[in-house]
Chains A and B, each alone.
Chain A
Amino acid sequence: MKRTYIYTTIFCTALALLSACAKNDNYEEPAETLTGRVIDNSTGQPIQTESAGIRLRLEEQSWNNGQGVIPQYFNVKPDGTFNNSRLFKGKYKVYPMDGAFVPLVTTTTPIIDNSKTVDISGVTSLEFNVDPFLKVEWVGEPVVNPDKTVTVQCKFTRGTTNTAYQFNVTDVFLYVSTTDFVSNASYDNRFSNQVKYNGTDGNALLGQTISITTKGTLGGSRTYYVRVGARTADNVNKRYNYNTPKPVNIPGA
């Protein structure tokens, strides 16, 4: 008799435990894609940046009229394109921020709002146009010197006519790395060379061809990537504007 009770209790408990867990999360998984580019107005090409150099901000508008929504971010790739294939369907306000360009959205005077509001569903494409603080260009090809240093020539000019965003040029950085992610986020500090400018000294070099040489001797017989970043005293994000990375082959010993 007693045993029956015990078995019944065990059976009932087991039944309760097993059946209780049967509820799956049946909310549809995020499957929409947002893809696109951030175009540099000075070149017409996607803007060059570093990994995590520009964030794309999304504020969902389809819930609670956008109030109290925690913004979501994802990073624009170093080549200025972005792609996120795991977003929930909905209406979003979207804009790139934190990069070395004139902000698209400001909330204090003068208030600017160049964000885009889109319904994200399926594959949604977006393109933003930004004015970089500086336009950095190669002049000629990098030269490998006999002592295995590399000398590059480049030029930087203002990327915006808006004088409120024409800050002093603070430094130019020749980055060297063994990968084409070469940038302020990834470089070899034994070879890379930073040239700093005081006050308005850097502004005098706008439009001039300047020449920078790597610091140390680059190890033999392999490919390095070089790239120049230039920066202004924007004081908000302190990001660099870049030219495109270039491979440099160092000959063997």
Chain B
Amino acid sequence: MKKFIYPLLILLCIVTACNKLGILPDNIVQDKDAFASTGGVTAYFAGLYNRLPIEDFKYNINTGYNQFNYIQNLNNLTGESMSREAGSASAAQTGYWGDAYVVIRNANYFLETMPAYAFNFNQSQVNQWMGEARFIRSFTYFELVKRYGGVPIVPGVQFYPQQGLEELQIPRSSEQQVYDYIGKDLDTAIMLMNNTSEQRGRANKFIAAALKSRAMLFAGSIAKYNTKNISDPATGAQVQGIPATEAVRYFKESYAAAKLVETGGYTLYRASANKEENYYNLFFDVSSANKEAIFMKEYSDLNAVHSFDLFAIPNQMKGKDGYSSYMNPTLDYVELFDGLPRNADGSLKTIDAATGQYAYYDNPYSFFQAAEPRLLATVLMPGATFKGQVIEIRRGIYKGDIAGGINPFPGSVSPFPNTTNPYANNPNIVPAVNSSNLPSPMVDLPNGQKMNAGGLSGTYGTTGGSVTISGFFQRKYLDQRKPVADVIVNKSFQPWIEMRYAEVLLNRAEADYELMTAGQNDVDYRQDAFTCINDIRDRAGATLLAGAADLTSINVIRNERRKELGFENKIWWDIKRWRTADAEIQNRVWLVLNPIYVAANGKYIFDKRRYEGNQQFTFQPMWYYEQIPNGEITKNPKLVQNQ
């Protein structure tokens, strides 16, 4: 009898054990767990936000999102800044496609699954989340449409292999359909969501509205300025270009969305009376007092870091990991601002128009003393004090006799013809050495002291040297509280402000102006644009527009946008949607400002010229639309390639 018991027991075990093979592996979180509690939903959203395509300190023009290398950034392609590592124009095509559809799928999955678990939560919570998922989906579609024009709109979550290939392969919708889809989706999101975010860094009603004002402005610009119209021959959908008749509708939607944001209590940041300090602090203030930051991506020492300080820090303050000096604003950009010394004819007073010779400045910073506070907060000038140090930038020392004044060096008079080695054959000047390996010469000064021909942070070198090549450094976002020991790889965690109220005001002013020129008069659009621009200028400490009549051209608003949103990875997309990039950036060599010390009187002169490296930038018109990655067309033959 006993003999039989053991086999029987074993048999029992085997038979019963087999019943359990149908259960799902419990190391994978299942819907019933993820959608059962607020914690589960929060985790789901953490995944979505983490993949949200935000062009922050980690956006590389070649490899895309979440990269270490921010040296190759969008601002080097627009004339905002230059870098010794960015010698020519680029289409900045990252092939962002597959990752976008992962986010879209996950958002769609949430939207389809949540209703079945809604009984776990109160209705307002569910609505907020449904709106948030739509916001994330729209944000992602917008990143696609601004690159490629029309893209496939996925109707819902797709399943393979349950669905056939034919069904899974979706052709591109028209560019207009995608923008309309985004507009409608955001309208629903605005309707569903609460006025406040559930947590910092998450969406709410007004954030969705801010995104809508941006997206609809883009759509209006494409309708108005694009002329390359291409349709998919198979479906007839216009995948590149929007009919011009749609422009007014889009601009009105942009305007209305911007007005909605205004009702959310957002205002320009005015925490400090010192306008320079105030504008600088705006980018570091993560407290609730910052009513300008609408949508912010935050970092933290332990969880998410970037290396912006490492790349942007002036050479003289760099940390042990090296790098430094990659973000050098151009003089073209600096000159957009108010308060620089100018001659009566409006030219920059490097050369005194009265004498035709260089003007003297007591020290490098006196050139910028009266500059617009926003400029000083955005750009580090030669002679500026940062982290307790004076930024030393010098191109050389003038040793000659100055009794008759100093005549312009070759290439420093309008129209600034390209000149290589402008100082080489001048016996009166000792230029800094053009090499990262050789030290610049020491020069004996009349007062018995010695001075290095080059400054600690530049400017010498066309390649290799870790110094500024333009005479400037980016100050916006550069953390002045960071000790030198922390200026190292992956040790920066200042937040990235993806959307702020200034942008919304600029969206509104631009939509205003476009509507005004289109003959719309249901609102006093000129007056509204004037109010928005002056609000921004007042906060910036810039010269105010005297009256609405001063809005003489769309360029007043566009230039304000460049000044306000510089170095925020936005201008690249703006010059593309305005379709002005090819005219602006055509065999263009950016302007630089070289401070030169004059030994005889201990003062400085400033040499304005085109960059000695003579690197020419040309934007090709075919770059207005990016190429769809060929691998995606292989997977889905219904996609037509852009031209």
Contact = CB atoms under 8 A, between A and B. Distances in A.
A98 B227 contact: no
Interface in B574-618: 579, 582-583, 587, 589, 614, 616
Given A98-B622, A108-B238, A190-B417, A236 B231 contact: no
Given A70-B630, A190-B417, A238-B582, A108 B230 contact: yes
Contact of A238 (B238, B621, B636): B621
Given A68-B633, A68-B637, A190-B417, A184 B230 contact: no
A108 B241 contact: yes
A70 B634 contact: yes
Contacts of B636: 68
Contacts of A98: 622
Contacts of B381: none
Interface in B610-643: 614, 616, 621-622, 630, 633-634, 636-639, 641, 643
Given A236-B227, A236-B621, A70 B641 contact: yes
Given A67-B234, A216-B417, A108 B579 contact: no
Nearest to A69: B637
Interface string A52-72: 000001000000100111110
A237 B227 CA distance: 10
A107 B234 contact: no
A60 to B, nearest CB: 12
A50 to B, nearest CB: 11
A97 B643 contact: yes
Interface in A94-131: 97-98, 106-108
Contacts of B238: 108
Given A67-B234, A184-B587, A190 B418 contact: yes
B231 A108 contact: yes
B233 interface: yes
A227 to B, nearest CB: 15
A208 interface: no
B520 interface: no
B229 interface: yes
Interface string A127-139: 0000000000000
A189 interface: yes
A238 B227 CA distance: 12
A159 to B, nearest CB: 19
A65 to B, nearest CB: 10
A246 interface: no
B639 A68 contact: yes
Contacts of A64: 637
Given A67-B234, A237-B621, A238-B582, A108 B587 contact: no
B622 A189 contact: no
A148 to B, nearest CB: 16
Given A107-B230, A107-B233, A108-B230, A189 B643 contact: no
Given A68-B637, A215-B417, A189 B227 contact: no
A221 interface: no
Given A107-B230, A189-B417, A68 B638 contact: yes
Contacts of A107: 229-233
B643 to A, nearest CB: 7
A235 B417 contact: no
B200 interface: no
B184 interface: no
B579 A71 contact: no
Contacts of B639: 68
Given A67-B638, A70-B630, A70-B641, A236 B417 contact: no
Interface string B151-189: 000000000000000000000000000000000000000
A160 B230 CA distance: 22
A235 B638 contact: no
A105 B639 CA distance: 19
A236 B234 contact: no
Contacts of B637: 64, 67-69
Interface in B230-245: 230-234, 238, 241
Nearest to A52: B620
Dominant SS at the B interface? Answer: loop
A97 B238 CA distance: 19
A108 B229 contact: yes
A78 to B, nearest CB: 17
Contacts of B450: none
A113 to B, nearest CB: 9
Interface string A225-253: 00000000011111000000000000000
A187 B241 CA distance: 33
B228 interface: yes
B589 A70 contact: no
Nearest to B582: A238
B418 A70 contact: no
Given A67-B234, A68-B639, A236 B633 contact: no
B635 to A, nearest CB: 9
Contacts of B582: 238
Contacts of A108: 229-231, 238, 241
Interface string A178-205: 0000001001011000000000000000
Contacts of A69: 637
A203 to B, nearest CB: 18
A6 B489 CA distance: 49
Contacts of B418: 189-190
Contact of B227 (A70, A71, A235): A235
A190 B227 CA distance: 33
Scoring B616, B637, B638 by chain A CB atoms within 10 A of each residue's CB, the highest score goes to: B637
A57 B418 CA distance: 36
A80 B93 CA distance: 29
A70 B633 CA distance: 7
A70 B639 CA distance: 9
Interface in B211-236: 227-234
Nearest to B642: A71
B246 to A, nearest CB: 14
Nearest to A191: B417
Contacts of A234: 227
A213 B603 CA distance: 40
A160 B467 CA distance: 52
Nearest to B583: A238
Nearest to A108: B229
Contacts of B232: 107
B228 A236 contact: yes
Interface string A204-228: 0000000000011000000000000
Contacts of B643: 57, 71, 97
Contacts of B616: 189
A98 B624 CA distance: 13
A189 B641 CA distance: 35
Nearest to A71: B641
A235 B641 contact: no
Contacts of A236: 227-228, 621
B632 to A, nearest CB: 10
B597 to A, nearest CB: 28
Contacts of A68: 633-634, 636-639
B459 to A, nearest CB: 22
Contacts of A235: 227-228, 579, 621
A68 B637 CA distance: 3
Given A108-B229, A189-B616, A234-B227, 14 more contacts: A64-B637, A68-B637, A70-B633, A71-B641, A98-B622, A107-B233, A187-B587, A189-B589, A190-B417, A236-B227, A236-B228, A236-B621, A238-B582, A238-B621
14 contacts: A67-B234, A70-B630, A71-B643, A97-B643, A106-B229, A107-B230, A107-B232, A108-B230, A187-B587, A190-B419, A235-B227, A235-B228, A235-B579, A238-B621
CB-based closest 7 A-B pairs: A68-B637, A108-B229, A107-B231, A235-B227, A236-B228, A108-B231, A70-B630
